[in-house]
Every structure is written in C-alpha cells, then in structure tokens.
Amino acid sequence: MGNKRVCSFLILALLFLLIVGTIGCSKDEAAKDDTTNGSDEPGAVADEKIYEVKFNNTTPEVAPTNQFIKEWAKTIEERSNGRVKFTFYWSNSLISDPTDIPKGVASGVADISWLAITNIPGNMTLELTYLPGLAWPSLEAGTEIYGQLLEEFEVLQEEYSSLGMKLYTFWRGGPSHIYTTKKLVKTPDDMRGLRFIASGFYSDIINQLGGTPVTIGPGDWYTSTERGMVDGIIIGLNVLSAFNLIPLMENYTLLGDSGLAMELYALVMNPDFYNSLPPDLQAIFDEEAPKLQKALIQDQIDQGAYVLHVAEKEHGHNITKLTDDEVQVWVEACKDLHEEVIQRHEASGKPAREVYNRMVELIASY
C-alpha cells in the first residue's frame, strides 16, 4: 500500500513539472514574438520608437530622380513596419543655401540630404573627379571607379567625415554639356563674352574656357535665364529637366559620350542619426543603398535621352554633336586646369597626384 502511494505521488509530481515546463515554454515563445515586434526583418528588436527622418533636397519634388528617392523611402518605411518615417523638404526649403548642406547635416538640421559634390567647393574629390576632358567610359563605370578610389584612398572618405557627414550612397550624374539661349557654342573661343550659370568648381572650368561664371542659386536659374541675365549653363542633361530649363536653352552642344565633365552626386547622413538607429534599422538602410544607387544611375541615363528628345522634337532646338577632333580642342583648352588642381591640393598635403594618376589608370582600363 505504501509503495502505491509513493508511485502515485511521483506520477503527480512529474505531471506538475511537465505542466510548469509547458507554460514556461509558451511564455518564452510569446517573449520571442514580442521581441521581433511582428517584423520579418532579421535582427529585429523590441523598439516601438518612431524614427523621424528629415530629408533635404535641392531639387523640386516633381524632378524624375526624386520619384526613385521617394520609392526608396517608402520601401524603408514599409520594411521597418512604420518605425521609420520620412519628411521631405524639397527645393532648398530646409537648407536654403546648397553650400550649407554639410553644415546643416552635421548639425542635425537635416538627417539625410541630397548633395551635389559641387556644393563642397575646394575639396579634392570634387576638383579631381570633375576635371574636364577625362573621358569617363559610362555612368556605371564612373560610379564603380569612384567607389574603388574611395576604398583605396582613405583621404577621400575623410572629406565627408571631416565635415561631419556619413556617405550613404553615391552615383555619377549625366555628362555635362554646353547649353545656350541664343549663340551656338562649338569652340572655346565661342565662350568669350558669354555669361554662364556656375557655382563652385564649374566657375573655374568656365574661367579656364574664357566664359564669365555667374553664381546664382538653383531656385533662381529659370528666372535669371528667362530675363537674359545669363547666356547658358554647363551641367548634366537631367538638371535641365529638373529645373525646367529645356524650353529656354535653344542650343545643345554635346561633347562626346562623357561630356565636358561628369556630375557626382551623393546622399549624406548625419552620423549621430545613423548611430541612433537600432541594428535592424541600420541593416535596412544599408541593404537599400545599392538598390537606390542602381536605380539612380539608370534614371540619369534615361533622363539624358528624354531631355534631348524633348528639346529637339517638342521645342525644335538645335542639337550639335561635336566630332572627336572638335571635342579634343576642348580637352586641350582645359589641360592647364588639371595640373593647377593637382598642385593646389598637393600643396595642402593631400596625395592629389597619386589619386589623379590612379583615376586616369582606372578610366583607361574600361
């Protein structure tokens, strides 16, 4: 009888332990579900905080490129299950002067900003990659080459970090050609006496070619051109579309496939903003960067073809494609500027000649 009671007690004890263990496992599973917060993203954590992102842009919302940026932002918002929320400030409505973008990003006025490298006057990245006549093979190759230079030369990365910015992604913009309102420009001599919209390093290029640079903020480009205050602009084709300048520019002088120079754009972040994100949200931003880069490169290509079509077919403007020999005249006219830029940055202690030689080597390898 005693043995039966002992056996019954042991059975009840085992059943009790089994029930307790089952309840404990259920709680653990529930805790795991709470930790993932219903997200399918790897490494998601329990964080209900909403991260507001102030995005600064110099171009109007209707610019074709911005549709890809909005789609990128929407994807991040969706992947974060609403924990990331973007607010866009178009047409310099957050940072009024584009040259203040580095300061605005570093101080947290903007968390992320579009940046044309011309908005950082005097930096080596800009002045080497924008040198006229380098014959970049394509936008894709130009982007790859710049990425390789960033990997090989830490000093190029420091040109962002030293200004308090984190480089998020970058891409080469459309080749820069010459557009004028009245007089057709085919040679550097034709530049003399003409006023061109310019800022930063473009002013040096225009001076070198004999034109007169006029510094005007992007928001005033259309009005200044319409009123005859300037005679033209040297910029990527896509920029003409973004600022509605196609109707005003009657002459389009195309200097080969790579243009006189090739634009370089970037999205830059406030490092403190990025570091404040939990690891799962950082991973989402990181994973979406190369996808955005690829989309924006293709957009630059598509926009270039679109602008030329609209200019010629819808407005009847003159499209002049220079021959290789005619382009070479422009290249020769700019050669002195190459050495001037190299020596200027070497004098400040930067390895400009080494970077330049490597850049030329990479361009030739494509």
The CATH code of domain 51-364 reads: 3.40.190.170
Looking at residue 122, what is its pLDDT? Answer: 82
**CA dihedral over 88, 94, 98, 104, signed as positive or negative:** negative
Q: Mean pLDDT, to the nearest integer, of 327-344? A: 94
Mean per-residue pLDDT, 250-263:
94
Which residues contact residue 328 at a Cβ distance below 8 angstroms, ignoring those fewer than 6 apart?
A: none
What pLDDT does residue 219 have?
86
Mean pLDDT of 78-102: 97
Determine which of 4-18, 44-58, 170-184, 284-298 has the lowest per-residue pLDDT on average.
Answer: 4-18
What is the identity of the amino acid at 357? N
Q: How high is the pLDDT of residue 165?
A: 98
Distances (CA, A) of 292 to 65, 144, 345: 11, 15, 32
Banded pLDDT at 29 (limits 50, 70, 90): very low
* Residue 324 pLDDT greater than 50, yes or no: yes
Please report the pLDDT score of residue 41 as a whole number: 52
For the chain, what percent of residues have pLDDT higher than 70? 87
| Structure token digits, residue 139 | 């936008």
Rounded to a whole number of angstroms, the distance between the first and last alpha carbons of the chain is 93
Residue-level pLDDT at 75: 99
Residues 6 or more apart from 264 whose CB is under 8 A from it? 116, 117, 125, 126, 129, 130, 146, 170, 171, 172, 173
For the chain, counts of helices (H) and of strands (E): 13, 10
Instruction: Give the residues across from 321 on adjacent strands.
Output: 254
- Residue 52, Cβ neighbours under 10 Å: how many? 11
Per-residue pLDDT band at 92 (split at 50, 70, 90): very high
Q: What is the pLDDT averaged over residues 83-105? A: 97
pLDDT at 258 over 80: yes
The conformation of residue 313, written as its DSSP 8-state character, comes to: I
Amino acid at 82: G
- Identify the pLDDT of residue 199: 76
Backbone angles phi, psi at 214, to 5 degrees: -125, 115
Give the start-to-end residue ranges of the domains of the chain: 51-364
Question: What pLDDT was estimated at residue 358?
Answer: 98
CB 56 within 8 A of CB 89: yes
Confidence of residue 201 (pLDDT cuts 50, 70, 90): confident
Looking at 54-58, 133-137, 281-285, which range is the least confident one? 133-137
Residue 121: per-residue pLDDT: 76
pLDDT of residue 66 exceeding 80, the answer is: yes
Mean of the per-residue pLDDT values of the chain? 89
pLDDT band for 16, please (50, 70, 90 cuts): very low
Beta bridge partners of 318: 251
